[in-house]
Amino acid sequence: MKRKLRHIIPSLAVLFLLIGMFTMVVSPAPASAATTITLSVSVDPGDIDQDLLYSFIDKIIDDYNLNADKVIIKFADGTATEYKPGSTPVPEPQPVPEPEPEPQPQPEPQPEPEPQPQPEPQPDPGESNTGSVSMNLDEQKMLDLVNQERARVGLPALKANLELVRLARLKAQDMINLGYFSHTSPTYGSPFDMIKSAGIRYWYAGENLAGAYSVEVAHNSLMNSEGHRANILNSNFKEVGIGVVDGGPYGKMFVQLFIG
């Protein structure tokens, strides 16, 4: 068994170096005993194709006839899971929540009796003038990803609306300050209320929310959700405002406001 392990360890090392994100430790054991393999993965569980990882492990064990009874996989966020060859392990729950279902796009309602006046949301005085608003790097990166998804299905790119950018940042900061994650804000009401209170006219409107530590993770979560994906690929929408604010339990808060 030790002689086998001396041949197996370099093979495993080459294999995981090729995919660029693994290190491993093999704990040798007597010939009659089982072998434990420990893998340290430099990404979080949601960022790696786990089926591919398990197939690599099973292939090495089969090719070298290694009597391995378990494989311990350690992820970058500190979580770990135990894999028994030939079975599918269940990873530990992750702290990043699934994005909340978003309101379906709604047409502009027909005129109706004037409602009672309601307090206008108090915008950040430093960003009350859209002439001083410009998109930051994360916001521009997310806009580029959104328009790439639309281009793949033959839809025109969404135009950045800086007034919607300002509102999206206010909503993201409000969720961080008040500790909630919802389309209905205790400060601004629904996204439709918020957009109308800013004097923006529209026929269709929608909102996407996400909490994540990076633009890529947030974008992938939205595209993997049927309702959020529908907003991104909605042909009725022509403009978007994306707000990305650092903070909150997920690292960054993302708000996308669509109108058409």
- Asked if 234 and 260 touch (Cβ cutoff 8 Å), the reply is yes
Residue that has been written with the tokens 């919802």 in this structure: 182
Query: Tens digits of per-residue pLDDT, 100-153?
Result: 767 677 766 565 555 555 544 455 423 445 556 899 999 999 999 999 999 999
SS3 assignment, position 56? helix
Token code pair at residue 215: 């633009």
Given a cut of 70, is residue 97 above it in pLDDT? no
Look at residue 212 in the predicted model and tell me its pLDDT. 94
Helix axis angle, 2-19 to 50-63, nearest 10°: 150
Of 145, 156, 161, 120, residue with least CA distance to 243: 161
Look at residue 110 in the predicted model and tell me its pLDDT. 61
Look at residue 50 in the predicted model and tell me its pLDDT. 74
Look at residue 56 in the predicted model and tell me its pLDDT. 74
SS3 assignment, position 57? helix
Query: Tens digits of per-residue pLDDT, 197-248?
Result: 999 999 999 999 999 999 999 999 999 999 999 999 999 999 999 999 999 9
Look at residue 116 in the predicted model and tell me its pLDDT. 55
> What is the length of the chain?
260
Given a cut of 50, is residue 172 above it in pLDDT? yes
Look at residue 25 in the predicted model and tell me its pLDDT. 44
Angle, vertex CA 224, rays to CA 190 and CA 49, nearest 5: 145
Tell me the C-alpha distance between 163 and 31, whole Å. 69
Q: Which amino acid is at 142?
A: M
This prediction's pTM: 0.52
Query: Tens digits of per-residue pLDDT, 3-50?
Result: 444 444 444 443 443 344 444 444 444 444 556 777 677 777 777 777
Given a cut of 80, is residue 91 above it in pLDDT? no
